Amino acid sequence: MPVAVWIVISGLDDLFITLVGFATCRLRFPWPSPATVRRAAQRPIAVFVPLWSEHSVIGRMLEHNLAAIQYRNYHFFVGVYPNDIPTIRAVAEQARRHPRVHIATCPHDGPTSKGDCLNWIYQRMKDHEARHNMRFRIVVMHDAEDLIHPESLRLINWFSRRYAMVQVPVLPLPTALGEWTHGLYCDEFAEYQQKDIPVRQHLGGFLPSNGVGTGFDRAALERLAATRYGRPFDPACLTEDYETGYLLHALGYRQLFLPVRTGAAGPMATREYFPRRFRPAISQRTRWVTGIALQSWQRHGWRAPWPQLYWFWRDRKGLVGNLLSPVANLVFVYGTASYLASLGQSAPWHFGSHIPTWISDTCQLTFGIALLQAAVRAHSGARIYGWRFATAVPIRMFWGNLVNFAATATALWQFWSAHTQGRGLAWHKTDHIYPVAQPELANAVGFHPLADAPANAAVGEFY
């Protein structure tokens, strides 16, 4: 019964977001015309790419995106560590071939954290400005495995005239139906980017950065840096993107999420592969739970304007829900098996036959909410990946409950151990797979194939 009560509370919360999403989905977003975006003055943009041990892919990532981006006034600033010689060489090769690419070397060995590397890239950008007597007006975040949409910098340039933070959607690349772990990322991001974040924006909630495809107004970053001894990003936070989004909103800056817009060339979004195996997925999600739920709670508590407290609740409720979800799955499987086993008996078992009516009604309510949420997730995924892929959503939801349970339990244990031992939280880098040159992939993301790309080239990244 306690599990059912929690599922009702959390489910009604999700149902509220779903209903608001239905009510606002027909509101027109003020997209400018393509001609208007192209004619807009192109302000200088600095693209930050933090690296650690990514020599096998960074060259190809830079080559592809430099050729694909339909914007002229931008430069890449690529962060490296002095003890990562192969990555330095790979970036230096691109810097020799492309004047838009600049190396930002951290003054100490790595790896440290993504936030720390970003801060030193920020200093390298300032040195470049001083030498060339210019000023970048926008800073955009990306990682070594990203396929940057050709129009994203144009749109960030356009909307950042009125917003201090502009977030381009992030969507996983499609994989085979049997890849449950990566398919789980596809399901979650499709729902999150098409329903949760737009509703959050409509209701006035702060927008957490996705870590990639985020454009920041330079003046806003400078004000944020002034609060942290010149460092715009928190080097101790495992999710510096979430922290930056919250702090900018707390300082009164406007934020904007660009809704997913699908055209002939595919969704306008940053595309990438996420972890495709169980253990790497747990490692990445452990970091997310630690940074978003635990560190945020530790730093900010529940001290925020009351409308933002609701979003703190939604971002942190997984600490309980992720631990209870496998229990709910076991209860569901037991009830289903009991019913099927009783079909051949003279007095078949039926739901609620041996428990009070109010408990039976509560459990049926939770089941109805779960069915609705599965349908909503399947609909979101079908819009991006097709209905064949979306039919496996219920199976992946069971798998996701197991993955999230393991990640949350690990995060709680690591956070408690670090606290009791008086040490900082360790940063663990996640290994990713870089896109391969395949015609179906090119059609899915709307980009030209990566010429001569090595199959399944591994890429490591911070977030």
> What's the pLDDT at 33?
94
> What's the pLDDT at 449?
38
Is 121 a member of any domain?
yes
Is 145 a member of any domain?
yes
- In one-letter notation, the amino acid at residue 25 is C
> What's the pLDDT at 461?
38
The answer to whether the CB of 285 falls within 8 A of the CB of 188 is no
Q: Taking the alpha carbons of 155, 145, 277, 115 in that order, is the dihedral positive or negative?
A: negative
> What's the pLDDT at 419?
86
Q: Which residues contact 226 (CB under 8 A, 6 or more apart)?
A: none
Is 58 a member of any domain?
yes
Q: Which residues contact 180 (CB under 8 A, 6 or more apart)?
A: 392, 395, 396, 399
Is 266 a member of any domain?
yes
Rounded Cα distance between 272 and 142, Å, is: 11
> What's the pLDDT at 459?
37
pLDDT 10s digits, 249-261: 999 999 999 999 9
Rounded Cα distance between 385 and 378, Å, is: 10
Q: How far is CA 57 from CA 65, 212, 214, 370, 454, in A?
A: 12, 17, 21, 41, 9
pLDDT 10s digits, 91-134: 999 999 999 999 999 999 999 999 999 999 999 999 999 999 99
Number of structural domains (the chain) is 1
Is 181 a member of any domain?
yes
User: What domain range is 252 assigned to?
Assistant: 30-282+428-461
> What's the pLDDT at 394?
92
Rounded Cα distance between 126 and 213, Å, is: 21
Rounded Cα distance between 198 and 21, Å, is: 8
Are β-strands 458-461 and 214-217 bridged in parallel, bridged antiparallel, or unpaired? unpaired
Residue 399: other Cβ atoms inside 10 A: 17
Is 439 a member of any domain?
yes
User: What CATH number is given to the structural domain containing 166?
Assistant: 3.90.550.10
Percent helix, strand, coil in the chain, to 5, is 55, 10, 35
Token pair, residue 104, equals: 């930002």
Token pair, residue 110, equals: 């790595």
Rounded Cα distance between 363 and 384, Å, is: 32
Q: Which residues of the chain have pLDDT under 70?
A: 265, 344-355, 426-434, 436-463
Is 156 a member of any domain?
yes
Is 163 a member of any domain?
yes
The answer to whether the CB of 54 falls within 8 A of the CB of 89 is no
